[in-house]
A and B are shown apart, each in its own frame.
Chain A
Amino acid sequence: MAKKKTFQDLILTLQAYWAKQGCVILQPYDVEMGAGTFHPATTLRALGPNPWRAAYVQPSRRPKDGRYGENPNRLQHYYQFQVIMKPAPSDIQELYLGSLREIGLDPKLHDIRFVEDDWESPTLGAWGLGWEVWCDGMEVSQFTYFQQVGGIDCDPVSGEITYGLERLAMYVQDVEWVYDLAFAEQPDGRIVRYGEVFLQNEQEQSAFNFELADTEILFQHFKDYEKQCRELLAANTKMALPAYDQCIKASHCFNLLDARGVISVTERAAYIARVRALAKACCEAWLETPMGAYTPRFV
C-alpha cells in the first residue's frame, strides 16, 4: 500500500492537480473569513464575463464550531481547499473524482455519493445548486454551480469545489482524532501532528469565541466596518476590493457575536441582511471596475 499522505502532502497534491487543470494557484486571503467562498477570488471573480480558474487554501474561521480541542473533528479554525472554474467545464465532476484518486481515495473501495445540498450564503446574497460529496457517509466536499452572488446572476455559471481538508485528511490517514493527523513528515522521519500545530490555538480561540470576546468592542467594530465599507463605495470612489475587505471583516464580527450568544434569532436575520447589503454593494461596484467588467474578445 502506498504511503499515506500527510496533511501538507494533501495540500500540495491538490494544488499540483488543479494547477494542471489550468487553475491559478493562489495563497490564502489575509482576512478572517468563514469559508473559502468569501475570498474575493471566488466571490467577486464569479461575477462578470471574464473566464477564471483558481485554486487555493483558505483558513476558515467558524467561531461557533469551537470545541476547546475536545471534539474529534470539529474546529473553529480549519482549512478549506477551494477550486473555482468559470465557466464550469462539462467534465467538472470527473475532474473532481480524479482529484480524489490523486489523493488516494479509491472510488472502488469507498462509497462516493453526490447528495443534494444547495448552497446558500445569506451573508453574501449568494446561492447555487449542487451537492455535498460523501465518502462513506463523511462529507468531504461541497460542489456548487453558482447561480447568484451578491444578488447578481452569474453568467457564465461557475463551478465551485470546496474540500474540507482536515476531514479529508482524517479519511485518507485513517485517523479518528483530528489532532492525531500527520501534518508533515520531517526528513528524519519525525511526524509533526496537527495537534502540535493547532491544539493550543483551538483551546485558546474557543475560550475567546465563547467567553472572552468583548461584545461591546465587536458591536462597535461591526458598525465601523460597515461605515468604512459604505464610504469606500460612495459615488466617486468605488473601491470595490478594499470595500469588500470591510464587508468580510464585518461578517466575521457578526460570527463572533453569534458565538457569544448575544444575537437573537430575529436580530440575526437583521445582521445578516446588513452584511448582505454590503456584499451586494461591493459586487455591484466590482462589475464597474476594470477587471470586473473585462470581457475577453474570444471566449
Chain B
Amino acid sequence: MAGLLLELFSEEIPARMQVQAARDLEKLVVGALSDRGLLLEGVKVFSGPRRLTLAMSGLPARQPDVKEELKGPKTDAPAAALDGFLRKTGLTKDQLKVEKTPKGDVYLAVIDRKGRDTIEVLAEILPECFAKLPWPKSMRFPSSPVRWVRPLHGIVCMFDAEVVPFEFAGVKSGNTTVGHRFLSDGKPIRVRHFEDYEKALHDAHVVLDAEQRKAIIFEELKAAAFVRGLELIPDEGLLDEVAGLAEWPVVLVGAIQDEFMDVPPEILQTSMRTHQKYFSLRDPQTGKMANRFAVISNMVAQDGGKEIIAGNERVLRARLSDAKFFWDQDRKRSLESRVNDLKTIVFHAKAGTVYGRACRIAILSMIYAELLGFDVKKSERAGLLAKADLLSGVVGEFPELQGIMGGYYARADNEDDAVADAVRDHYKPVGASDAVPTAPISVATALAEKTDNLISLWRAGEVPTGSKDPFALRRSALGLIRTLMENKLRVPLLLPAFATLGAYIQPSGASWEERLEDSPFDGNILKGIADDLLAFARDAKKGGTKISGADRQIVSDVMAFLADRLKVALREKGTRHDLIDAVFSLGGEDDLVRLAARVEALQNFLKSDDGANLLVAYKRAANILKAEEKKDNRSFDGDSDPQAFVLPEEKSLYVELAAASEMIRAEVERERFVEAMGVMARLRKPVDAFFDKVTVNDKDAKLRENRLKLLSRLRATLHLVADFSKIEG
C-alpha cells in the first residue's frame, strides 16, 4: 500500500472556483482509479489561489490480475467467424475452450489480464482527469491546445516517493513545487510525500487547507475586532472568497475617516464589500457600523503592514469620497423632481419610458390599495416615487442599492414614513430567501411593480421560454404570488392585470400620458385615470368588448403563467401537483389565496378515509360513463327521472346528490372549502351502497339511461370542488 501526492500549480485560480475544482478533481481521479480496479483507503483534497492538491493513501502497488471470459462463435460456424474471433482475442485456436450451451457448442476465450503497476495506470489516467475538470470558465493556453482555468506551471506527482511520469498541457510532472509568491525564496521545494509536502509548504508560507485559512481569518478577525471594543459583522460569502485570495492570510485593520460615517451604512458596506473585499465592524452595544474596516492581506510585510494599511485606507478614502459625492449630490434634488427625468430612460422599446412605468405603478398601487382597503393617496405617492432613484448617482454606481437609496432620499425629502418604506421595499422579495413586504403601502407598491412588469413585458413579447427569461419575469411572478399568499391577501388579479393593459390601450380616448403631461403630481389626474382603468378592467373581466381578443390573450397568458408559478411554489411546499391541476383546471379563478385554500382543503380531504373512498367511487363512475358514452356516442348529462328508479339505493343516492350539490355550491360560494369537503364526505355511504347493490348497465335501456344520468350527476357534483379526473391514485 502506498500514497499518492498530486499538486497542480498554476497562475491564480479564481476564488469562487477553487473548492469545487478540488472536489471535481477528487471525484474524477477516484472514479478513474476504481474503474481500473484500484481502490484506496483515504483521499484528501485542498485548494487555494495557486494550487490544487490531492493526497491519497492506501493505494495498492499494482492492479489486481483479472480473468476475462469472452464468448465466441458456435463451433460449427463458418471459418471466417472463428478467424475474426481469434484476431479479436489474440489467441490461437488450441487456446480456446469449448462450452456447451442449449443452443450448441460455442468457443470460449479465457483471457488473463495481468494487473499493471499502479504508477503506470496513474500516468495514463491523470492527464485525462485534468482535461476533464469542468471549470465554469476556461481559457485556451498561449501554447497548447488544452483548455484550463489559467496557465499551468507545475505538476507534482509522487507515488510511493517516486515521480509518476506524464505530461499535461505541455508541463512535465516532477517532484518540486514552490512556496508563497512573495514570502518564500522562490526556490524549488523537493517533496516526497504528502506529510513533508504540507510541512515544507507551511515553511514556505503557504497554508494548504482552505478551511484552515478560513479559520485563521475568522479567528484573527474576531480578535482584531475584540481588542478594539468592536465586533465583526459576519459575512460568510466574503470569508469564503477572501480565503481563496491568500495563501498566507494576514488580517489588518484600517480606519474609515469620520467624514464618511454619516453616509448610509448600506453604501459604506456595499462599497467596501464589492470593491475592496473588506469586512465591516460594528459597535456591539449600539449595533452601529464602526469607523474601522478589516482587510485580509496575503503578506507579512517587512514594515509590519504599515504601508499596506495606509494604502488600503487611501484606496477606501477614494472609493468612499466617490460614494459620498454621489450621496451629497443626490440629496440636492428631491425624488419628486426626478420623476420627470424618467422620461429619458426607455423601459422597453415596446413598453415606453420608465416615466410611463412609474405612472402605471402609481395607478396600479392605487388600484391594489382600493381592492385591499389601504390608503390610496399614499399608495399613489409611493408608486410614483418608486423608480425615481434610478437616475441618482449612488444607484448608478451601485445598482444593487436601488430602492434602498430611494427610501433614504424619500426620508430626506420628509415624505411620509409609510411612503418612504414603500419606495425602499417595492422590489421585495428580491430572491427566494428575501422576505415579502408586509406594510400596506409597501405591499400595494410591490404588487403594482410586479404586475406592471409582467403585463408590460409580456405585451412587449418578452415571454420567458425555457432557460431564457432576460427580464426575470419568473421572479416577478413568484414575488407577486408570495406577497399575496404570505400576507393572505385576497385580490381578483384579473382587475389589476386588465388595468395594466388598459394603460396601453388607453380606453378613455385621450392619451392618458397626455393628460399627465404637466405633472402627475397635480391634483387628481392619476386618480381619475386609475378609476377609468379600474372600470375598464371590471368590464373586461365580465367579458366586455372594449378589449380585443389579442389583448385578452395577453392577460390570460399571464394568468396561466402565474398559475404555473403558483403550482411550482405549492409543489415546493409539498402540495400534490395533481391536486393543484385538479383545482386549476376548473378555471375562472383569479384569486390565488382562494385557489390555494381550495387545494389545501382537497388534499386534506383525500387523506381522510371518506375522501380516498369517494375518489375510488368517482373513478369507477367516470370509467363506466366514459365507456358507455363512447358506446352510445352521446352524453348522459341531464336529470334522471326520479320516478323511474327501482332500487332504494339509487333513489337514496339521487336524493342525497340533489341536496349535496346545493350545499356544496353554497359552501364553495362562501369559500368554506373544508365544509364543502365535509358535505362530499357524506356522499360516501350512498355511493358505496349504490355500487354495491345496483347494476348500472341494466338490460332495460330506460333503467340504464336513468342510472347513467345519475352517475353523470355524481361526477358533476364532485367537479364543483375540483376536476377529480386529474387526481392520481
Contacts and interface: CB of A to CB of B under 8 A. Distances in A.
Nearest to A97: B181
B301 A111 contact: yes
Interface in B128-171: 137-143, 149-151, 153
B18 to A, nearest CB: 10
B315 A131 contact: no
B334 to A, nearest CB: 18
Interface stretch (A1-9, A134-142, A275-283, A290-298): A134-142
Interface string A161-200: 0000000001100001000000000000000000000000
B364 to A, nearest CB: 21
A242 interface: no
Interface stretch (A11-19, A29-37, A68-76): A68-76
A208 interface: no
Given A88-B142, A147-B140, A71 B322 contact: yes
B472 interface: no
A218 to B, nearest CB: 14
Contact of B16 (A70, A89, A112, A116): A116
A150 interface: no
B182 A108 contact: yes
Interface in B1-44: 11-12, 14-16
B325 A137 contact: no
Interface string B306-345: 0110111011111001100100000000000000010011
Interface in A124-154: 128-129, 131, 135-138, 145, 147, 153-154
A27 interface: no
Contact of A108 (B14, B298, B302): B302
A122 interface: no
Contacts of A93: 11
A15 to B, nearest CB: 24
B139 A145 contact: yes
A89 B15 CA distance: 24
B367 interface: no
Interface stretch (B348-356, B421-429, B439-447): B348-356
B245 interface: yes
A contact face: mostly helix, strand, loop, or mixed: loop
Contacts of B344: 261-262, 264
A267 B344 CA distance: 11
B142 A176 contact: no
Contact of B347 (A71, A138, A266): A266
Contacts of A145: 139, 142, 150-151
B514 interface: no
B215 to A, nearest CB: 21
Given A67-B325, A156-B143, A137 B347 contact: no
B314 A176 contact: yes
A98 interface: no
Contacts of A170: 314
B662 interface: no
B476 to A, nearest CB: 16
B321 A156 contact: no
Interface string A78-95: 000000000111100100
B299 A111 contact: yes
B345 A71 contact: no
Nearest to B301: A109
A157 B145 CA distance: 10
B11 A114 contact: yes
B311 A171 contact: yes
Nearest to A89: B142
Interface string B352-381: 011000000000000000000000000000
A115 interface: yes
A118 B137 contact: yes
B316 A137 contact: yes
B553 interface: no
Contacts of B142: 87-90, 145, 156-159
A111 B297 contact: yes
A74 B151 CA distance: 33
B391 interface: yes
B303 interface: yes
Given A266-B346, A266-B349, A138 B182 contact: no
Contacts of A135: 311
A160 to B, nearest CB: 12
A90 B153 contact: yes
Nearest to B342: A264
A265 interface: yes
Interface of B: 11-12, 14-16, 49, 137-143, 149-151, 153, 181-182, 245-246, 276-278, 295, 297-299, 301-303, 307-308, 310-312, 314-318, 321-322, 325, 341, 344-349, 353-354, 391
16 contacts: A70-B325, A74-B322, A109-B303, A110-B299, A110-B308, A111-B311, A113-B12, A113-B245, A115-B245, A129-B137, A129-B138, A170-B314, A261-B345, A265-B345, A266-B349, A267-B346
Interface of A: 67, 70-74, 87-90, 93, 107-116, 118, 128-129, 131, 135-138, 145, 147, 153-159, 170-171, 176, 261-262, 264-267, 270
Given A109-B301, A116-B16, 11 more contacts: A71-B321, A90-B142, A109-B302, A113-B298, A114-B12, A115-B277, A137-B311, A138-B314, A157-B141, A170-B314, A264-B346
Which 5 pairs, one residue from A and one from B, show the smallest C-beta to C-beta distance? Answer: A136-B311, A264-B346, A116-B14, A114-B12, A88-B142
